[in-house]
Every structure is written in C-alpha cells, then in structure tokens.
Amino acid sequence: MEQDLATLAATVAELQAKSASNGTMFSEVFYYLTIPLMVLIHVGFLAYEMGASRSKNALASGIKNILAFAMIVPFFYYVGWWIYWAFPTGLSLSEGAMGISGLAYANEVASPLSQYMGPNLDDRSSGVFWGAFVLFAATTASILSGGVIERIQLIGFIILAVVLGAFVWILAAAWGWHADGWLVTQFGYHDFGAAGVVHMIAGFFCLGVLINLGPRIGKFNADGSANHLAGHSMPMTLIGLMLIIAGFWGFLMGCVIVPGEAWSWSSSIEASIYGTPMTMSGMTFNILMGFSGGIIGAWMTTRDPFWMMSGALGGIISCAAGIDLWWPPLAFVIGFLGASAMPFIATTVEKMGIDDAVGAFTVHGALGLWGVIAVGIVGTGYPAMFGASDVIEISFFGQLLGGIVMALLGFVPGYVVSLVLKVTGMLRVPEEAEIVGLDLTKVPASAYPEGIHASATPAE
C-alpha cells in the first residue's frame, strides 16, 4: 500500500513538472511569435513610407527606416532594457512594492553583464521577452520616420530614432506599463495596448521634431495655404497600412501576460500587463470592432483611401488603452469617433505650418491621447491593476495625468534633441539635395531605373 502511494505521488509530481514545463514552453512560444508578427509592422511602414514619398525619395525613405531598426537593437540591449527595470518608481532607482524594479533588480536581470542577457540554459524566457520589447521600441522609430520623410538627414534621423526608441519610450513604459510604475500604483493609470506609452510618446516626439525640421519645399505657399505633395504610389501606401494592421495583432499579443511559469499573474487565465484578468477572445472582438469603426469613420468624413486605411490603424489605437475592457460595440464607437476626427486634426496641424507627411502626430499622438482619455471617461472604477496588497482603480484624473505626462515626455525630448541637431547642421538635408531628390544624392541605387511611366491617354 505504501509503495503504491509512493508510486502515485511520484507520478503526480512528474505530471506537475511536465505541466509546468509545458506552460513555460507555451508562454515562450507565444512571445516568440509576437516578434515576427511585429516585424510585419516594419514591413508595412517600409512600404507605407516609400509609397507616400515621391519617386525621387523612395529608397532614401526606406533606408532610414531599416537602419533605425538595426541601430535600436544594440542600444536597447545595452541601455533600454535596463531603464525599464530601473526607473518604474521614478528617477530615484528605488525598489517598488512588487519587488521587480530599482537599481539592484535592473543590474541583476538587465545589465549586459547579467546571466539573463545571454544563452543561459537555465533561463529560457528573458531573451524572448526582451525581443518583444525591442520591437515595441523599433515601432516608435517607425512612427517618427513617416512624419519626417523627404527632407531629414540620415544621421540626424538615426540619432532621434535611438533617443526615442532606446531611452524615451522605455522610460514611459517603466512609468505607465510596469507593475511598479508610479503612474499605475499612485494614480491608477491603465494603458493595456500602449496608446499612451508607445503611440502618444512617438506621436508627440514627432511633433517636436517637425517644428524644428520645417516643411518640405513646396508644401506651403506664400499666403500660408498648403499644397498636397502626393506620394508616387498610393497602392504601395495602402498595402503598407494593411501590413501594419496585420502586425498590430503581434503588437497587442505582446501586451498580454499568458499563463506560464515565467511571467504569469495567474495559472488559469490571461492577464494584462497590470495583472488584471482578460481573455484573447475579448481582445479579438475589440481589435476587429475598432478596426472596422475606424475605417467607416474615416471613409464617411473624407472618402479618401489614404485616410480610410489610416482610419483602420487610428481606430485600433483609439481603442488600445482599454482594449482589454471594452464591450465590443463600445470599441466600435470609440474607434469610429477617433478616426472621424483624424482629418480635422490633420488640417489643424497643417494650418499651424507643420508638415506631417503621413499624419504621424494625428494618428498616433492625438488618437493615442483620445484612447487614454476614453478609458478615464468610460472605465472609471474598473481595476487598473492588482497591486501587491490591494486593487488599484482607474480614474479620470489618473488617465488625464498619464496623458499629460506622455505628451510632455514625448514632445520635450523630440523638440530639444532636434533643436540641437538643427543648430549643429545635422537635421535637414541641403536645399539642392531636397530639390533633386534624396535617392540621387544620398543612395547609390535607383528605385526605378527604367522610370515610372504614365498610363497611356487617348489621342486628342
């Protein structure tokens, strides 16, 4: 009898060990798959920006996007990941209530010299989780990239992209997207899909840069009226935007904590990055409803295919902060309202003399702010986070404060760094190069060596 019980106990222990191992393996694979999906975001931005550029600038627009991605990776390895774990409680480097932040913790898990930052056979998760965050960082640079096409110097852009992706964005994530983040623990800030900590940061950073960069030659007339500088390939732009939407599924997957040994808050259900319960089912409803609401809203206000597809992205961004909370019809309405407002916001920005070539501030900055505020309007009283000893609730003030912090944290560095680059002559290409085209002056290749031929027209 005792032998049978011992055998049973051993079998149970073996099954539990296998279950834990399978859970860990599932969580690793889940996050691992977010990485190639998020790469589609960059494929999309590549096509989107090249199509939105005139043919004389197509390759230059693509090259800066690819190079920014490559440069952010090592900077994020050496600095960015450490910032995320070091600064959640503020600039004091002190440990938070959850015990997963502060100087000592950051040095242990995120220093380049740490055992967790390499092929440690006892640690199967850190590199995968790091990789997902690298793709978030690269996304912020791609958002910036679209707004500044056709006139920015490559070296100036790379500096701005690295500052944004490896320093500024990850500080915002530490404050508002971490279990010890001071915006979360003290004010109940809730931003599940990163409408503030990614999109607002990048959009407002881009706005600060655009003020110093100035408009493209020919964008504005002497009386202040604006001209439309059409890109050379609307189909390429639309395909790029759709690829960004496809990649957004991976982006939002990376915002989920799945059951598994490594990171889970719960052994039975998915959770938000704040530990609040959610389901992949609910997220799927809301992504698609926000997507469709955005397309319909933008189409109804513009009839423009560019804004229609930008509306799809804008609708999801509008819903992103509370995409773990919304009842699906509400997600549709929030996406519809945000995308409907996009053309009017873009026109206002243009009337201020700012040339945002693809509406980066409008889509990401302004609608990111709308998404953060929407959570405060509709979600007040819901759990923002399950803290160390209590439940922290969402409040309108917390969302408003978070929105203000994200706007300033994005805009101020963008403006200051770009101003320094402008003063030192590293921000904008010479006028002659801009007129001739950046591909001819900066790229040792031709996007269309046989030329772009106009469609045949009937003889008169």
Residue 9 confidence (pLDDT) above 80: no
Mean pLDDT, residues 11-15 taken together: 55
> pLDDT class for 122, splitting at 50, 70, 90?
confident
> pLDDT class for 259, splitting at 50, 70, 90?
confident
Residue 216 confidence (pLDDT) above 80: yes
Alpha carbon dihedral 244, 245, 246, 249, in 10-degree steps, equals 110
Percentage of residues in the chain with pLDDT exceeding 70?
A: 90
449 lies in a domain? no
Query: Considering the chain, what is the average pLDDT of its residues?
Result: 89
Mean pLDDT, residues 250-258 taken together: 85
Note the pLDDT tens digit of each residue in 409-437: 999 999 999 999 999 999 999 999 999 99
- Residues 392/188, Cβ–Cβ less than 8 Å: yes
Residue 326 confidence (pLDDT) above 70: yes
Higher pLDDT, 265 or 460: 265
pLDDT of residue 454: 46
Mean pLDDT, residues 306-316 taken together: 93
Is the overall model pTM greater than 0.85, yes or no?
Answer: yes
- CATH code, domain carrying 370: 1.10.3430.10
pLDDT of residue 266: 57
Higher pLDDT, 256 or 360: 360
Query: Minimal CA–CA distance to 49: which of 305, 228, 233?
Result: 233
pLDDT of residue 384: 87
pLDDT of residue 97: 84
- Report CA 188 to chain centroid distance, whole Å: 21
pLDDT of residue 443: 86
Q: Is 240 exposed, middle or buried (0-12, 13-18, 19+ CB in 10 A)?
A: buried
Percentage of residues in the chain with pLDDT exceeding 90?
A: 71
pLDDT of residue 6: 64
Domain of 70, in residue numbers = 21-442
- Return the SS3 of 46: helix
450 lies in a domain? no
Residue 453 confidence (pLDDT) above 80: no
Residue whose tokens read 């992949």: 280
16 lies in a domain? no
What tokens were used for 98? 């959850």
Residue 258 confidence (pLDDT) above 90: no
- Report CA 277 to chain centroid distance, whole Å: 23
Residue 245 confidence (pLDDT) above 70: yes
State the maximum Cα–Cα separation within the chain, in Å, rounded to a whole number. 102
Mean pLDDT, residues 120-139 taken together: 87
Note the pLDDT tens digit of each residue in 150-195: 999 999 999 999 999 999 999 999 999 998 999 999 999 999 999 9
Note the pLDDT tens digit of each residue in 44-79: 999 999 999 999 999 999 999 999 999 999 999 999
Residue 338 confidence (pLDDT) above 90: yes
pLDDT of residue 29: 82
Looking at the 3D structure of the chain, how many domains does it have? 1
pLDDT of residue 2: 63
- Residues 35/132, Cβ–Cβ less than 8 Å: yes
199 lies in a domain? yes
103 lies in a domain? yes
455 lies in a domain? no
Residue 273 confidence (pLDDT) above 90: no
pLDDT of residue 13: 56
pLDDT of residue 174: 96
Residue 22 confidence (pLDDT) above 90: no
pLDDT of residue 19: 46
What tokens were used for 298? 């933008």
459 lies in a domain? no
Mean pLDDT, residues 285-297 taken together: 96
What tokens were used for 231? 């890109």
Residue 227 confidence (pLDDT) above 90: yes
- Residues 217/431, Cβ–Cβ less than 8 Å: yes
Residue 23 confidence (pLDDT) above 60: no
152 lies in a domain? yes
pLDDT of residue 456: 40
